A and B are shown apart, each in its own frame.
Chain A
Amino acid sequence: MNVNVQFTVNGQLQRLSTDPRRTLLDVLREDLGLTGTKCGCGEGQCRACTVLLDGSPVRSCLTEITEVEGRKVESIEGLGRNGRLHPVQEAFIQEGAMQCGYCVPGMIVATVGLLRRNPKPTQTQILDALNGNLCRCCGYGNILKAVQRAVRSVAPAESATSSRTGNPK
């Protein structure tokens, strides 16, 4: 039995009627054509499917579609602003933090989520936040460098309202 759900994705209102047992991941990919969010396991163990729900990273493969009713979803496709990439996306490109790149959207979205919560994370906090994100190709080294680069470049902008004490550059 289908239910009606209403939520925003990347700022756009979406209304759909669907089986309530379907996941947010499937709806994004199959109904809304947003294939940037990847499925690496469907069991909550790889975080390739990470999206932001009301600003916090969640595993969309474990999120039933009814849970997002009335809420705000952001996916990799919605991070850029005014035709410009998000600084975290820039950082991943600059550091060459990708081989096949399948894990990258999840990594980027998780990083954006982390930096919103904590614009100046320590190395330990970064590792805690990303440990659930799997990459099989690149040994994590370049991804960590990208996250650190993002911390340097994102902090002033993203933290504008929360903290202004950090390094102003």
Chain B
Amino acid sequence: MKTSFPELEFTEPERYELHEGPFYHFEVSRREFVQVLGAGILISVAVPSAFAQRSGRGGGTANLAQRLHLGADGMITVFTSKVEVGQGSRTQLTQAAAEELGVPVDRIRLIMADTAQGPDDGGTAGSRTTPSTVPAIRRDCAAARQLLVNTASTAFNIETKGLSVRNGLVEGLGSDRRFGYADLASEKYAQALKRDAGSGVAVTEVAQWRVLGTAVPRVGAVEIATGAHRFPSDIVRPGMLYGKVLRSPSYGAELTEIDLGPAQALPDVAAVRDGDFVGFAAPTSFAAEQARDAAAKTAKWKIAPHPSSDELYDYLRAHATSPRPRRDLRGSPDDALKTASKVLRETYHVAYIQHAPMEPRSAVAEWKEGNLTVWTGSQQPARVRQDLARSLRIPQERVRVIVPDSGGGFGGKHSGEVAVEAARLALAAKRPVSIRWSREDEFTWAYFRPAGVIDVAGGLDDKGTLVAWEHVNFNSGASAIATPYEVPNIATEFKSCDQPLRSGSYRALASTANAFARESFMDELAAASKTDPLEFRLRHLKNDRLRAVLVAAAERFGWRNEWKLNSARQSIGVGLACGTEKGSYVACCAKIQVDERAGTFKVLKVCEAFECGAIQNPGNLQAQVEGCIVMGLGGALREEIRFKDGKILNPMFSQYRVPRFKDVPEIETILVNRPDLSSVGAGETPIIGIAPAVANALFNAAQVRIRSLPIRNAALRAST
């Protein structure tokens, strides 16, 4: 059991991935198509592309020719459908290829996320790149290396046994013989490259890693630091226009009337209305904005009622729709709660928040001879391609989606609204169009991390041992809803709700919410039994990997010296939390300082231990863990979307405060390496511990229990 990770927990589809169809339903006129695409397009034959035979999410590839291209110059091009959104996948996958091919990292060119080329490794979500795509690329590259060795062996009539590959050349052929990937690239061996990767290929053992396991610097760093890298919002095409979309004044508002005339009267403006979509294209984004504003003045809207964030939590509870069967029912929790010697029941809340990646959604769309190419920042290029084909009613084979390395995702860029908008507008303008969402668009029209209400109950026996556990999540999701603690009687339940805002994936999904509730509640139980919260957890914890990170974090933090059972207010407090999700393990300790007079507090120090199996790139891992802690601190302390009458009340960085340099506490991270275990993803789980650790520290210091995220200073003030 210790060497295999619990596959079940994280192969489950993400509940909140958006599977709904595209945003828009167009009535694209036949005349427009005929003009732009040429006659005959609507009955065009759907030619299956070379890559139509998909092998399923993260599965094997059909043949090496899809995965690899060997250049005669010794450069090797590797293809994957994964995207780079700042999580480090480009570097990590390049390392994986270099490791197995036996070439230096700079000999690999990785082509990512282009639906017209390469195998389908699935979208980029759920921390699947490390456990699925890295192994797939390693296997394919190991097969290529094997092929090189076999071919050399045949060519020089030497047994394969003594041969190995280094620097792209076969070693062991004798000093006067050179044979490498560039030779394999010649016509002579073309057929050999088309065969299956095969199953008997051996990948390099962790102990033998030379490239994986090291802190290879970010691939493409120079282009980033010089401004040369073209993010999706930087793509420029010949003759390109800039587009702006008319947004409704509030959620659910219906456009009843608009006059495009004033916009069309402006020079070089293309305007289109198609159903709910109204867009404007012009030679500059300023001119497009002017056009949009001119038309907006003539718009009439039918406003729909919409609830307010002030009543959000009651609203969610009242709108639970599909009560699911209890996901996990063990023992008889109802009876156990009745007979327990002490029972606690509490409710926790988490607010809607936004991903707020630094690069807003953007897309450039270009039509050429009936074929559509879109460059966009999305974690799901294949899904965006489908959305485009469906909304524009063209065969998928005519759509190509390319995702240049993009400016942040965090689970927020799974959908393709902006791509569809750009494509529709480009069709009308008959020129390529670039649309970049404004920050306000991002805060209003991108999907949100769902808010949630979580009821937790726990029963202790007379020795202070947990005998019953109940955890019900309304709306926010079921990720990490199962408690990792040993309790004989458990009931967990997720109820989806008819919710006011459009929600989707977020870094670590609902595990942030569920971990906040569970780990806060564990702290409450520990306090109720006057026990050290570390002791209380360890007493109920069997999982070795979780215990290991918890102990590692607590030791480095100096928990045993720092924690004391406070009965009165202190200025300093400490708290901890731990959890597991997607096969990785995290524990977090936090130290805070309360300013009694001002009624505020400050996070002084965070110490987090994280374990995700064998570490593939310690430098990137460290950055991901730190990034998670700081992003998690935002959601813990301040981030909250407020809304009223269908409008977002704080759709700007000046009103929605994300962490800045000065908000960052002292951070210490412990990366627990387990070369004996499979590597799993690390971009998500390290975010889940910080919020409960801070809430628990606040209780330790101020004897104030905050059960709602974000923890606002106001809450502390109100309690004094």
Which residues does A use to contact B, with CB under 8 Å? 18-19, 21-23, 26, 29-31, 33-46, 48, 75-77, 79-80, 85, 89, 92-93, 96, 98-105, 108, 127, 130-144
A102 touches B358 (CB 8 A): yes
Interface members, chain B 278-312 (any A CB < 8 Å): 284-287
For residue B654, CB closer than 8 A to chain A, the reply is yes
Instruction: State how many angstroms separate the Cβ of A5 from the closest Cβ of chain B.
Output: 14
A131 touches B660 (CB 8 A): yes
A104 touches B225 (CB 8 A): yes
B286 touches A96 (CB 8 A): no
B405 touches A100 (CB 8 A): yes
A101 and B664 contact, Cβ closer than 8 Å, known pairs A22-B286, A134-B358: no
Instruction: State how many angstroms separate the Cβ of A75 from the closest Cβ of chain B.
Output: 7
A140 touches which one: B356, B359, B630, B652 (CB < 8 A)? Answer: B630
B438 touches which one: A35, A42, A99 (CB < 8 A)? Answer: A42
Q: How far is the CA of A156 from the CA of B51 in the complex (A)?
A: 56
**Which residues in B have their C-beta under 8 angstroms from that of A48?**
358
B667 touches A77 (CB 8 A): no
Question: Closest A-chain residue to B87, C-beta based?
Answer: A99
Q: How many inter-chain residue pairs (CB < 8 Å) link A and B?
A: 180
A139 touches B359 (CB 8 A): no
Q: How far is the CA of A19 from the CA of B228 in the complex (A)?
A: 27
A26 touches B286 (CB 8 A): yes
Question: Closest A-chain residue to B234, C-beta based?
Answer: A35
Known contacts A42-B438, A96-B623, A99-B627; 11 additional CB pairs below 8 A are: A35-B234, A76-B226, A76-B227, A85-B222, A98-B221, A100-B359, A101-B405, A102-B407, A132-B660, A134-B660, A138-B86
Instruction: State how many angstroms separate the Cβ of B552 from the closest Cβ of chain A.
Output: 20
**Which residues in B have their C-beta under 8 angstroms from that of A134?**
358, 653, 658, 660
A40 touches B284 (CB 8 A): no
Question: Closest B-chain residue to A124, C-beta based?
Answer: B662
**Which residues in B have their C-beta under 8 angstroms from that of A96?**
215, 217-218, 221, 619-620, 623
**Which residues in B have their C-beta under 8 angstroms from that of A131?**
660-662
Q: How far is the CA of A135 from the CA of B215 in the complex (A)?
A: 22
For residue B436, CB closer than 8 A to chain A, the reply is yes
A103 touches B358 (CB 8 A): yes
**Which residues in B have their C-beta under 8 angstroms from that of A35?**
227, 230-231, 233-234, 236
**Which residues in A have their C-beta under 8 angstroms from that of B396?**
none
B653 touches A19 (CB 8 A): no
For residue B224, CB closer than 8 A to chain A, the reply is yes
B234 touches A136 (CB 8 A): no
Instruction: State how many angstroms separate the Cβ of A143 from the closest Cβ of chain B.
Output: 8
Q: How far is the CA of A142 from the CA of B407 in the complex (A)?
A: 17
A136 touches B230 (CB 8 A): no
For residue B631, CB closer than 8 A to chain A, the reply is yes
A26 and B285 contact, Cβ closer than 8 Å, known pairs A93-B225, A96-B221: yes
A42 touches B439 (CB 8 A): yes
Question: Closest A-chain residue to B235, C-beta based?
Answer: A35
**Which residues in A have their C-beta under 8 angstroms from that of B492?**
none
**Contact string against A for B residues 341-370, beta-carbon threshold 8 Å, 1 for contact and 0 otherwise:** 000000000000000111110000000000
A43 and B286 contact, Cβ closer than 8 Å, known pairs A76-B226, A138-B626: no
**Which residues in B have their C-beta under 8 angstroms from that of A38?**
231, 233-234, 358-359, 407
Q: How far is the CA of A103 from the CA of B231 in the complex (A)?
A: 12
26 contacts between A and B (CB under 8 A): A21-B286, A26-B284, A30-B242, A33-B236, A36-B226, A36-B227, A36-B228, A40-B359, A45-B652, A76-B226, A85-B225, A96-B218, A96-B221, A96-B620, A99-B218, A100-B406, A100-B408, A101-B220, A102-B358, A102-B408, A127-B661, A134-B660, A136-B356, A137-B358, A141-B667, A142-B623
B227 touches A102 (CB 8 A): no
For residue B401, CB closer than 8 A to chain A, the reply is no
B652 touches A127 (CB 8 A): no
**Contact string against A for B residues 75-86, beta-carbon threshold 8 Å, 1 for contact and 0 otherwise:** 000000000111
Q: How far is the CA of A144 from the CA of B357 in the complex (A)?
A: 20
Instruction: State how many angstroms separate the Cβ of B643 from the closest Cβ of chain A.
Output: 19
A140 touches B227 (CB 8 A): no
Instruction: State how many angstroms separate the Cβ of B603 from the closest Cβ of chain A.
Output: 13
A101 touches B439 (CB 8 A): no
**Which residues in A have their C-beta under 8 angstroms from that of B628?**
139
**Which residues in A have their C-beta under 8 angstroms from that of B358?**
38, 40, 46, 48, 100, 102-103, 134-137
B627 touches A137 (CB 8 A): yes
A98 touches B218 (CB 8 A): yes
Q: How far is the CA of A26 from the CA of B231 in the complex (A)?
A: 16
Q: How far is the CA of A46 from the CA of B233 in the complex (A)?
A: 16
**Which residues in B have their C-beta under 8 angstroms from that of A41?**
439, 652-653
Most buried by B among A48, A77, A79, A99: A99
Question: Closest A-chain residue to B406, C-beta based?
Answer: A100
A139 touches B626 (CB 8 A): yes
Instruction: State how many angstroms separate the Cβ of B275 from the closest Cβ of chain A.
Output: 28
Q: How far is the CA of A50 from the CA of B285 in the complex (A)?
A: 19
For residue B613, CB closer than 8 A to chain A, the reply is no
Question: Closest B-chain residue to A76, C-beta based?
Answer: B227
A89 touches B86 (CB 8 A): no
A138 and B623 contact, Cβ closer than 8 Å, known pairs A43-B652, A100-B407, A103-B358: yes
A46 touches B285 (CB 8 A): no
B653 touches A46 (CB 8 A): yes
Instruction: State how many angstroms separate the Cβ of B491 from the closest Cβ of chain A.
Output: 37
Q: How far is the CA of A108 from the CA of B215 in the complex (A)?
A: 23
Interface members, chain B 613-638 (any A CB < 8 Å): 619-620, 623-624, 626-631
Q: How far is the CA of A42 from the CA of B443 in the complex (A)?
A: 13
**Which residues in A have their C-beta under 8 angstroms from that of B229?**
101
B630 touches which one: A21, A130, A139 (CB < 8 A)? Answer: A139
